[in-house]
Amino acid sequence: SPRTSFDLSSLREISQTGSPLSADGFEYVYREIKADLHFNSIAGGTDINGCFAAGSPTLPVYAGELQSPALGMKIQAYDENAKPIWDEQGELVCEAPAPSMPLYFWNDADGSKYHNAYFGVYPNVWRHGDYVLIHKDTGGVTFYGRSDAVLKPSGVRIGTAEIYAQMENLPEIADSLAVGQNYQDDQRVILFVKLTAGYTLTDELKDKIKKKLRENASPRHVPALILEAPEIPYTLNMKKVESAVTNILNGRAVSNRDALINPGSLEFYEGVAKQLGG
């Protein structure tokens, strides 16, 4: 482990961002790297050139939680009725202006694109598009992924990060992508897996994946379909592109392919959509 292989006496902080990190990831840092450092998990957006939730060296770190709202950010989690909630998953919003928020978009003379991007759902409240849980006891924030990619099989909301956390513990799985497809008046979860070299997607491996999710997450997390994918699409800043694949599988157009580091990867999912009738 890094703790035993290197001299880390001068290491005081590790920062992490990009995608939600599982509680196991937090524990790994303190167990295998260094116990007496500040693990600073942060989340925000290019849009605001900053963070909505971040770390604080004066507060305790809880596994799976960003320690607190960032300075100047009046964040909250909203339920489907735009009511603040704690200890439940909801939409990340910011209820007050912050200095680093954009004021307008270029080539948006009437401001409609800007308004629809952030204020179209909750009037005068910034909707960032992330699915979070704010812990009432610690004040920490747990991120579950993009709200436009949240899965709702049988009407039950599931954050994709909960699925990815389990896939990270399987040596056969190099990467994964979970999306929802509208199917028979409901939504079914489809899990795409990129396999580690040397493995094949057998029925035994599918059963192992389902068992892992059922026992460590819930029966609702078990996907209806598990398919092998040659590549998982990512943005230029290395975030999984769930929304584009979701659109493809549901027969919707995909915009802004130039924002992907590997736009050619979408051709595979377009082929899958044809096979599945998306």
2-148 under CATH 3.40.50.300, yes or no:
no
User: How confident is the model at residue 83, as a pLDDT?
Assistant: 94
Please tell me the distance from the alpha carbon of residue 60 to that of residue 38, in angstroms, as a whole number.
9
**pLDDT tens track for 232-252:** 999 988 889 998 999 999 998
**Count of CB atoms within 10 A of residue 275's CB?**
8
User: How confident is the model at residue 23, as a pLDDT?
Assistant: 92
User: How confident is the model at residue 256, as a pLDDT?
Assistant: 78
Determine the average pLDDT of the residues in 4-15.
Answer: 97
Q: H-helix or E-strand containing 267?
A: helix 266-276
Sequence spans of domains, the chain: 2-148, 150-276
Determine the average pLDDT of the residues in 260-268.
Answer: 96
Alpha carbons within 13 angstroms on the beta-carbon side of residue 5 total 4
Alpha carbons within 13 angstroms on the beta-carbon side of residue 8 total 18
Can you read off the two tokens belonging to residue 271? 């082929």
The more confident residue out of 183 and 69 is 69
pLDDT > 90 in the chain, percent: 78
User: How confident is the model at residue 35, as a pLDDT?
Assistant: 96
Mean pLDDT in the chain?
93
Please tell me the distance from the alpha carbon of residue 247 to that of residue 180, in angstroms, as a whole number.
9
Q: How confident is the model at residue 153 (pLDDT cuts 50, 70, 90)?
A: confident
Please tell me the distance from the alpha carbon of residue 18 to that of residue 64, in angstroms, as a whole number.
14
Cβ proximity of 266 and 248 under 8 Å: yes
Asked if pLDDT for residue 278 goes beyond 60, the answer is no
pTM, 2 dp: 0.74
Asked if pLDDT for residue 170 goes beyond 70, the answer is yes
Q: Which of these ranges, 64-78, 173-187, 191-205, has the smallest mean pLDDT? A: 173-187
Determine the average pLDDT of the residues in 31-46.
Answer: 96
Please tell me the distance from the alpha carbon of residue 34 to that of residue 218, in angstroms, as a whole number.
32
**pLDDT tens track for 70-123:** 999 999 999 888 999 999 989 999 999 999 999 999 999 999 999 999 999 999
Asked if pLDDT for residue 150 goes beyond 90, the answer is no
* Best CA proximity match to 181, nearest among 236, 262, 237, 250: 250
Asked if pLDDT for residue 178 goes beyond 70, the answer is yes
Determine the average pLDDT of the residues in 134-156.
Answer: 87
Please tell me the distance from the alpha carbon of residue 169 to that of residue 20, in angstroms, as a whole number.
15
According to DSSP, residue 21 is labeled: P
150-276 under CATH 3.40.50.1820, yes or no:
no
Q: How confident is the model at residue 254 (pLDDT cuts 50, 70, 90)?
A: confident
User: How confident is the model at residue 277, as a pLDDT?
Assistant: 76
Can you read off the two tokens belonging to residue 10? 């001068």
* Best CA proximity match to 47, nearest among 151, 134, 118: 118
pLDDT > 70 in the chain, percent: 100
Determine the average pLDDT of the residues in 8-27.
Answer: 93
Q: Which of these ranges, 37-46, 79-88, 144-153, 257-266, has the smallest mean pLDDT? A: 144-153
Please tell me the distance from the alpha carbon of residue 98 to that of residue 107, in angstroms, as a whole number.
23
**Count of CB atoms within 10 A of residue 4's CB?**
7
* Best CA proximity match to 209, nearest among 155, 169, 249, 247: 169
What phi and psi values does residue 189 have, to the nearest 5 degrees? -90, 130
Asked if pLDDT for residue 192 goes beyond 90, the answer is yes
User: How confident is the model at residue 96, as a pLDDT?
Assistant: 97
